[in-house]
Structures are given as structure tokens and as C-alpha cells.
Structure 1
Amino acid sequence: MHKFTKAFISLSLPLCFIANVNAQKIYWSDQPNLKRADLDGSNVEDITPAIFNGPRAVTVNKTESKIYWVDQNGFNYRKSDLDGTNLETLFNTTGGAGTAMAIDETNSNIYHGNVSFVGGFNPFIEKRNLDGSNNSTIISSLSGSVKDIALDVNNSLIYFTVSNTIQTVNFDGSNQQTIVTATSNIQDITLDLTNNKLYYTDQNTGLNTGKVVRTDLDGSNPTDILTALSNPEDIHLDVTNSQIYWGDGGEDKIFRCNFDGTGTETIVTGVSISIADFSLVSADAPLSVELNYFTARQIENSIQLSWATASETENEGFNVYRKLGNEDFVKIASHKSHTELKGQGNTSLETFYTFNDNSKLQNGEFYTYLISDVETNGIETKHEESAQSVLFEVQSQEVRKFELKQNYPNPFNPSTTISYNLAKDSKVSLKIYNEIGEFVKELTNGFRYEGSHNVIWDGTNNNGKSVSSGTYFYKISAGTFTQTNKMILLK
């Protein structure tokens, strides 16, 4: 059984609190190493060799189970496995950047701050693929260097701090807005997208006057959560356990407390670099869909996808994505347009799904498929770890006639596959009738290419309600060709 996780990521610099499927750990920079420990600060271990000038902007891509950070020696952006092995250098910048980075796991992108000195001082935010390729500028000519970045992926929105302000901009660089302005020293931000809140650290200007502030996502309704802090820097949230984590550069410690500011405790002490370099990934939310398996196989001249869920929570349905070779994934089917992709909402019972890709595919090419589940609140989670590839090969025996084949299995419960052949490209209608000739459901209505096709009937009518046991007839119409066969549903 495979479990797939999702979480909102908010980060700044190198400490990283991580909750993953293997263990809950804190990751942080302690110059010149990366370190990790349990959430209570115990079991500290070095996970990288000495890195000159210290890693910054540490974060974790939980989909890949990788750590990302910036090595301040040459501003090289790097990643490794969670234990520090398999180190890779992705790219470097020359503008003294590296204090802000965020990862969009859903769309496989990195967002980071950078600075250009061509024609003057020009701070900007860049986007890249996870391997560092295809860099593009999202927004430029900012009033100062970007201190921190947080992402609201569902709304395609970037939050960032610059020049004592918190600003937002769309993923495409449009609609830049300032939502918080302070006269003191705003440092880092994090988002609670579950409760629609934003948290930030404010160092203020006097001794022990720093604070942690909470606002709505639009910057309104500010509330001081913690006050009289020495030098608060980075901040992150464990939403599941309603806890705030923050670093204090004046005390060289990492703390945590409850959302209301009570119960403060020290987690890490004696950090030898400013805690400006710390980031946190929120704890795992409960899984919307727990996937048991996902398979893809060729059946005649179509690809059949099959999967089963162990449980579903607020699951509206599934989307299907496909890519050819090394191209990008493209959504080819949605629960909104395909009834077989509709979810069960809430269930603890194992549920089986089947989807047939009847597109006209290219002979001798590899096609890769993955599915995503969509919650009733619109949150989409792609099950990238389960992606399956199929080498598609056109069957050597040419289809020469129209034919409606006997369904299989027959009798059946709860679903059956109906196959048919088309001698040429045709508009096809495939309908189900009961034994007294009443219309039950239309399975296919549209253009189909020449060749073999499959469609699943799940024993429901056009309203999605299960039908009773009995004899049913399925009729195909393709141009001038019609044929009717009989099948039996047993419950």
C-alpha cells in the first residue's frame, strides 16, 4: 500500500521543520553543516559535510524526498537526499541572492530571489524548473532584496517580503499588491492556508521589542501573538498541531509555542549562525485519498488505467494526466466531464476505478499516465509517485469491420467492459436499455477513430444511481452500422 502526502510549504532560510511519511524532523543550518533532529530537538545529527560559508534557504520537496538549499559560496543552489547523500548542484546566481526560496511541488517549480546589477541595483523574483532549467523573471525592479517567499499554490499567488513590506503577486507576475507596510523591520512570513491566516516576524527597532504578528491573508486584522522578543527571524507553522516555530538570532535558538502564543519551549540551542537562516514545512494534513495501487496497460488499441483507493475523505473525483515521451503532462480527462472519475466523497471502504484512454495514440511511443484527486474545496493532489508508462503498439491485425463484442465479464458485478471495432472514423453512440426497452444510460456519444475501443459500465443509470440485477441490452450506432447485445448484472 502506498501513501501519498501533501503540504503547504512556506520557507525562508536554513532551518527546516519537516513532517514526512518516514519521520518528523527539524532540518537547519549550523555553519558549516546541515543538521537535523526530532521535533523536540533530540537525536541531533549532521547530514552534510562542511559547506564553506554555510547553506541558506533550506527547504524540502516532500514529493521527491529531497532537501534544497543555497550554498553561499558562489550562490550555488543544491539539493540532496534527506540524509545528505546524492548531492547535486542545480544552478547558481551571481547577484548575492539566496535568502529566499520556495518550492511549488504541484507544478514542479522553484521560486527564488535574485539581484541584477546591470544598469543599477535591480532585485527580482525568478521561477525555474526543479532541475534549475527554464528560468524566467516573474517580477522585477523591486525596492529591495527579497527576504522571504511563501506560496499559495491553489490561488497561484506569491507572498514575499521586501523593504519592510509584505507584497503579493500572481504566478504570472500580474496584479502586484502591498498588503502590509511597517515602519520597523519585517523579516519572514508563513501562511496558514487552512485557516486563511498570514504570520510574520517583526524585529522592530529597539532592544527586546521584536514580535510575531498574525493577519488575514489580505494583511488585514493584525494581532500581536508574541512580543518582547530579542531578534525574531524566520517563522513557520505546524498547522496540524496548532504550533508556531520561530528562530531568534539574538539568542541563537529555535523556539515553538501554541497558536495563541502560550506554551513557549526551546527546541534547538547554540546555533552558530544567525537564525535568519531557518525554514519550516508544515505537518502533513490528513490524506484525502489513500491509494492502494495504480496500473496502466494496453488493451487492443487503447490504454486502460486501473486503480483502487483504501479510503477517501471529501474526494470530489479524479483527473487523468498523460505525457508523450519527455514532454510535459497534459490533463486529458476530468471528474467534471467523465462520470467514471467521480469520487466517493467520504468512505473507508476500498473502491475500484477504471478509465480507458481511447485517443488516437502514436505507434511505438511511450506514454506515461498519472492521476490526481480533487477535494471538495478544490485542492488537487497529483499522485506523481504512482505514474505508469506504457509502450503503445498498434496491433498488427488490421480492423476491417464494424463489430460490437460481447461484454466481459458476463454475468458481472459491479462493472463490465464493452469492446467494439470501427472500420473507419465514425460518430458513435453506445446506450444501455433494460429488458423492457427503457433507456438506462448512454456510455458513449461522440467521434471515435477507426480501430478498437473499450468502455466501462459500472451498473449505474444516467443519474449515477445503481440499477437492480437483471438482463440489460447494449446497442451501438456508428454511421449506418447498429448492433445490440445482451448482458446480465448479478448482485
Structure 2
Amino acid sequence: GTPPSNADYAMTLIEGVDLSLANSAFVTFESRWDIEQDYDGTMVEFSSDDGVSWNQIGGRDTYAGVDTIGRSGFGGVQPVGLPIYSGFGNRNWRKQNLNASKFLGADPVNSKLRLRTVTDLRTEYDGFYADNIVIGMYTSEEIDPIILNVPVLEDTLDTTDYAVWAVISDDGSVALVNLYYSLNDGEFAAIEMNKIDDFKYESAIPGQPAGTTVSYYVEAVDNDSNITTVPVGAPWFSYSFKVDFIIGTDLETQLPKEFTLLQNYPNPFNPQTEIEYELPEAAAVRLTVYNLLGQELSTIVDNQQEAGFHKATWFGRNNNGQSLASGVYIYKLTANSPTRSFEQVRKMVLLR
């Protein structure tokens, strides 16, 4: 039921958690929640020292806690930057699957799991409900790595390299991430992607001459050779774009006249939205998403781009691959060219 104000309470598993034989581990449960967004929240926490300290576990429906101190005269109690359930989740029960593999090897006698709820001084909603909680493990790597996000490249006039990145949610079991590409419906060639942080991999398709159709997909392989791809069904299904050329037309008449950031579509959206923008000349481009406190949550684009009409896709996740809660978000385009600098912001609404 509805929790009291100014509360900090937890439901803790009494028995120890034994992951000593596991190669990977997970926590699953059914849940629903309605919690004051950005102020209150519920966390799934694991302790390996008999409750002296606790670490949060995130999943697809958690988002990074925000600092709301001073808003409306009241400060929220969310741990900043750590995974938390908040906002309106679902009136229907929803399956949660959290990766607990980073706690492998912990002493089973001193290992504990808990659900912890924190509330501020006012405005409490229905709260967080959980049922059928299971702590599971695999003694061999049986969980496929999950690829959360891969950009959908658009047709371009650019003949230089085309950057592709991938966010992998289950990095603890990932052995290899490859970018596959083909030219004009030919055979696919593989490029191993470089790991740049705990979740993100990057690589690039070599630049191609005008008139080329490029198809591509991303494949992740875990330590037991299980494979997942984006898009699903690759190589029979893949993303593609064209390197265009214009015949008998002055190229300048095809280019935008001004830097412009357009309204995203659809809006409101769930689970993804398209953001279009226009560059009258080549520029270093950053397209970023912020919450209403001005905290940067997600970087959608961050590279040099040619003049033209561009489109990017945002999947409602932060830079760690965590789902963000329903709410209003700000997206900003920054473009720096040799002749000028440009910034524009717009609002969009995510509805879970």
C-alpha cells in the first residue's frame, strides 16, 4: 500500500545468497509501481558484507536517480546516478529481470538481497509491489547478451567512414561484438567493435563512393557462443542506407539554408522516437537528452557530420542502457562549423 512520508524501509531476504558455483546470476520478479517521480523510489540492493554496505542492481525499467534538492522547497531522496524504480510503472504486473553477475564469488554467509523504498517529506503514491522473487544462476553461460541500442543510419552524401555503436546490457558474459556490413547486396564482412566503456562498443563502416547501398547489422557473442543480433533475424534482415549522388542538379540547392532542430516524431512516444535536424554546412554535432534539472542523460549523436538532412533515433534510455521513466525531457542540438556555432533545444514526452 501507500508508503508513509519521510520513510526508508526494506524487505530483506533472511537467508544468505549462494552464488559460489555460478558463472552468471540474475534476479527476477513480478512488479507494478506508482511512485512520485524523481523524488521517491524503490531499489533492488545486494550486500556482500552482511548488510554493512549495499549496491543497487538496475534493469530495463530502472533509471538513474536524480538530484531534486531545492525543487519546490523540498528535496528528493533518490541516490543520484544509481538505478531506481520511480514514476508510474504499470497497473498490471510486469516481469523484471536484473543481472546480478557482478556479485559472483561473494561469501554466501554474508550475502543478502533486499527491496528498499525511500520517500521524501510529502506526496506519496501507491508504492511498489513485488511478487515471485527468484534469485537464479547459471553454472555455464546460458544467457544471451542483450543488445539494447544500435543506430539506424540514414541516406547520406558523405563518402567518409560511417560510425556505428552498440549498447550491450549483459556485458559480463560478452566475448565478442562484431559489426557486419555488405555493399550493394554482396557478402557481409565483419569488423570487431571496440569496447569504450562498461556497456558501449564502437566501430565504423569504411566510406563508400556515391551510388553504393550499404547494409549492416551488429552481432554479440557470449562466452558459450550464444549469439544475438540487431536487427533480429540478421543477416536475412539488416539495416541499410544509400550513399547518394545528385545528377544534373546544383548540390547547394539540395542543402538546408539554416541550422534547424525539428520536433521529434512521434511525440509523446514509447518506446522510441525520431529526431530530425538540418545542417547547411559540415559541423561537429552533438545531440543530447536532459531531464528538467538540466542533467545530461543520453548522448544520441557526437561526431562530425556533412551538410544535409539528418535523422537520429532515441530509445528512451540513458547512456548506461537503463530505461528512463515517463516524463518530459529536453533534447538539444549543438553544431559547430568553421563559420558559426548553433544551439537549439526542444521538449519531448516519454510515456511508458
TM-score normalised according to structure 2 size? 0.41
Which is higher, the Rg of structure 1 or of structure 2?
Answer: 1
TM-score normalised according to structure 1 size? 0.31
More relative contact order, 1 or 2 (CA 8 Å, 6+ apart): 2
Q: Which has the higher strand share?
A: 1
